[in-house]
Amino acid sequence: MTDTWSGPLEKIGESKYRIPKTYKPFMRVDGIIYADDILIGQIAKDKAPEQVANVASLPGIVGASLAMPDIHWGYGFCIGGVAATDPANGGVISPGGVGYDINCGVRLLRTNLTRADVEPILPVLIDGLFRDVPTGVGAGGKIKFNPKEIRQIMQHGPRWLVDHGYGWDEDIALCEALGRLDGADPDAVSQRAHARGYDQCGTLGSGNHFMEVQYVEQIFDQEIAKVYGLHKDQVTVLIHSGSRGLGYQVCDDYLREMREVPARYGIDLPDRQLVCAPVHSQEGKQYFAAMRAAANFAWGNRHMLAHLARQTFAHRFGKTPEQLGMHLLYDVAHNIAKMETHTVAGRQMSLCVHRKGATRAFPPGHAEVPDRYRAVGQPVLIPGDMGRASYVLAGLPGSMEQSFGSTCHGAGRQMSRSAAIKASAGRDIKKELAAVGVYARARGRTGLAEEQPDAYKDVNDVVRVVEKAGLSKRVARLRPLGVIKG
């Protein structure tokens, strides 16, 4: 979108703007955008705030229609959108509130290697990852699973993979939701979706998906970093991928199947991309079951990508992954809808929380934070662009008070892929990255151009906003050394 936003944006805090529900007659609640004076100008350059207002029309929505500082235009919901609906009050579930790449998310591996260990062999290491990890559109996995096994992954996620010799038990405990949403039903997933996903478990994909070797450039909170097992100059591996063709097809199928559902339930929407169904309806239950299956598949996919990364590092350094300390720090979802308990106006409620381009950020003491992290809060993984940095944050109590336990998910695009390609004409993005110390490999002809650093907001600005807002706090900044992309 190139149209700029011309509606109201009322500044209601250092890091918060409001679209009042009086803006449009269909709005049931206010829209809230987390941003500061630096980012709000960028955000208003497209009409993503209009999507924030549109989401405020959803039946059963509670609190506010929310957007994180990495907001940009999406399908139905903006990327960076958060909305919670109350099923007991007609609350709906919307495929556009999850997105096409169901459970696109990130997984971070720690190592006991340092920057000094890796830099002398960085090109060889990155070339090895590029060889061993399938990347690009339609790429099939190196480790094959038959259709029955894929059904098991859709039902059980990484647990099934660990039970069959891939990864470690601790990998399960350090996943959001233990890497599995109950109620997943492979039978709710179309045969077309099954066919698209059967050979894609353990594949990176294309677009903004990547595997990046990084080092810890700066520690902001020594106590939390120690609990997370992070220290300065330590090498980490960040994996960003999702449910691949399977999840895309699930979304596409249900957007089509639910086209007439709103009218069936008397739901009037300002944007047909917000097609939805009451959570407790047959249509809502069917989508939820398929979405959960795709989410479990995505956790399985990232689990297998981590397995491949461990194998490559082991081969290159002549040590086992255990000897290299390649432990999972955490795995979080970015595109998902989940039933969660939240307190609204002093009352505990079971809500359907949509996070589309947003990350769960539960605070210290929350029962769903793994035991080893509970005293300091859930790790929050925020990938930036290839040339600057990524962050590890920790969830804060303010996330539960303001945003249904949510925070940002990345830097957020400020340039479309086509505009990024146009802007890269006559340039060599690989050489530009090398000039700032990043060795990059990409399968596609336009992969690096589409994902060049200029295509994204500055992740440093984004995380500053969520920290000032009290949603999550900085723990460590991770600097890229090398990256592979589709």
Q: Number of helices and strands (H, E) in the chain?
A: 17, 19
- Torsion on CA atoms 67, 179, 106, 255, rounded to nearest 10: -50
Contacts of 1 (CB under 8 A, 6+ apart): 46, 47, 48, 73
Which contiguous run of DSSP H or E holds residue 10?
strand 10-13
Q: What is the per-residue pLDDT for 333?
A: 98
Q: Does residue 4 sit within a domain?
A: no
Q: What is the per-residue pLDDT for 386?
A: 84
Q: What is the per-residue pLDDT for 96?
A: 97
This model's pTM is above 0.85: yes
Q: What is the per-residue pLDDT for 285?
A: 98
74, burial (CB in 10 Å: exposed 0-12, middle 13-18, buried 19+): buried
The residue type at 123: P
Q: Does residue 261 sit within a domain?
A: yes
Strand segments, DSSP code E, in 95-175 are: 105-114
The tally of domains found in the chain comes to 1
Q: What is the per-residue pLDDT for 1?
A: 41
- The DSSP letter of residue 100 is S
The residue type at 418: S
Q: What is the per-residue pLDDT for 445?
A: 67
Nearest to 376 by CA among 229, 257, 252: 229
236, burial (CB in 10 Å: exposed 0-12, middle 13-18, buried 19+): buried
Nearest to 293 by CA among 305, 285, 283: 285
Q: Does residue 77 sit within a domain?
A: yes
Q: Does residue 17 sit within a domain?
A: yes
Q: Are 252 and 232 in contact (CB under 8 A)?
A: no
Query: Residue 292's domain spans which residues?
Result: 10-485
For 431-484, how does the pLDDT look when each residue is reduced to its tens digit (9 = 90+)? 888 888 899 999 876 778 888 888 888 999 999 999 999 999 999 999 999 999
Regions of the chain where pLDDT drops below 70: 1-2, 445
Q: What is the per-residue pLDDT for 453?
A: 84
Q: Does residue 320 sit within a domain?
A: yes
Q: Does residue 36 sit within a domain?
A: yes
Strand segments, DSSP code E, in 279-423 are: 328-333, 335-344, 347-356, 359-360, 379-382, 390-395, 406-407
Q: Does residue 5 sit within a domain?
A: no
- The DSSP letter of residue 19 is E
Strand segments, DSSP code E, in 194-334 are: 210-219, 234-241, 277-278, 328-333
Structure tokens at 442: 């990409």
CATH number of the domain that residue 412 is part of: 3.90.1860.10
Q: How far is CA 400 from CA 177, 208, 335, 450, in A?
A: 17, 29, 19, 35
Structure tokens at 468: 């000032």
Of the residues 72, 209, 342, 409, which is catalytic? 409
Q: Does residue 2 sit within a domain?
A: no
Asked about 366 being catalytic, the answer comes back as no
